[in-house]
Structure 1
């Protein structure tokens, strides 16, 4: 069968454009592996490919989910598997690209079948955060599952809430559930590349790209989401570059302040992605220049037996 190509990397690293170039050369189609590019509401601020970016290459699982949906890694896995199989059945190379490392990890390493978490367990964890704060939530997470908590960098309430609520619901740690997994797509069928540009060059590109987003309607997009009145706990509302505009739209900050904070937070997000990929994608081919990309492309087999 045809190989399955996976291209990841930090935000603004150029992975989407490279994936299109590969698709043109091997007869492939692009499949989204970015958690924010699934949302209809975030065309600009998620840097979702425009028709001009696609260059006639079919793209799948982009901009098809309402912001009201609590989309998850499990939901993505359920959607991506039939798309991959359809490509292979048509003798087309599936090319997955995006910056959500957990999507690729779930696809290649497997994902635990954790039972649905009740509203009672989620409310209990949320109450701890609301009443005692993020430090208390982390201490609780460390108590119930030190292994999973160690993987959480900095203050990440969403992931800490998940750790605590899973334990409250099931009596088992999240890491215990995650140890009982099997791959969806075995690694031997995949060709894996992570784009890791020089750090300062990437930060400069992030700044200039965000300026372009503003010029192309990013602020108007954020305003539309703000006026729609979405629940701020929804996954879409965590998008870097979206939430940073809300203080400006509430009259609590200037536009210049909002833009500066959005750029800063995007750079910080890219730094966290670097850390994650270096720790979790050690078996992937690391590329950071044109010659390394061409070497990776040259080693893509026409078929995997």
Structure 2
């Protein structure tokens, strides 16, 4: 059986994505691969680069589609991308994908499967530390903020994945120095320039995070402490409607279970713990979440509990 491959999927209509891809192609020795769905591919070790036209948010099952055409099993997917934000602040970000807060039957506005989230890449935490390093080496720290983003948007995919992005406006998307820095994160994270296999991330404990804002300051603090991260659900992804029953309505329970189950799928040999950004919730919300986690035997930890 062929060795599983890591698939880097490039969005041809996204200059932040294509600049990262160009930098990857320039910095490593790649061989041309076969056309897949009519699009060019390259290969280096057990990594494949697939340069598609257009965007990817609504292109579901890209891992299965690659496997169907090439007979290569995809183990994980990396999406170089741009980041769009109304704030316009320059930023470099990493995040998992998914839309677990939407009800079944709803159509998420930016792709994905409602009420579910694909497995998050176990590489996010270590790559964030590498991103901070590369931002300094490329003299970007005075120009760009560096952060996680919480779980959001599509596409749907069945294997662990992450987005690595340049934001937040057209002026920044085309920044070639930023693209070079993110390419170096990918190169070092996948060991593309050195002998040996792609590093595997195996941790005794993995943490999925609940609450806080979109740019995930608490997950960043956990990452800085060497904790491997799974999904990160901001408050807006935990829809809780207070009522007289004592158990809030809304889609928060399905979102938590989806985040837990997919984080477990991405890290089958690890204990999966929850972390709660307590200050971002009201008392009745904290109580409901803690009771729900206990009911489903999902451990809830403070930072000291999560350190290995």
Q: Shared topology, TM-score over 0.5?
A: no
Structure showing the higher helix proportion among its residues: 1
Structure with the greater relative contact order (CA < 8 A, sep ≥ 6): 1 or 2? Answer: 1
- After TM superposition, the score normalised by the length of structure 2 is 0.28
Q: State the TM-score, normalizing by the size of structure 1.
A: 0.28
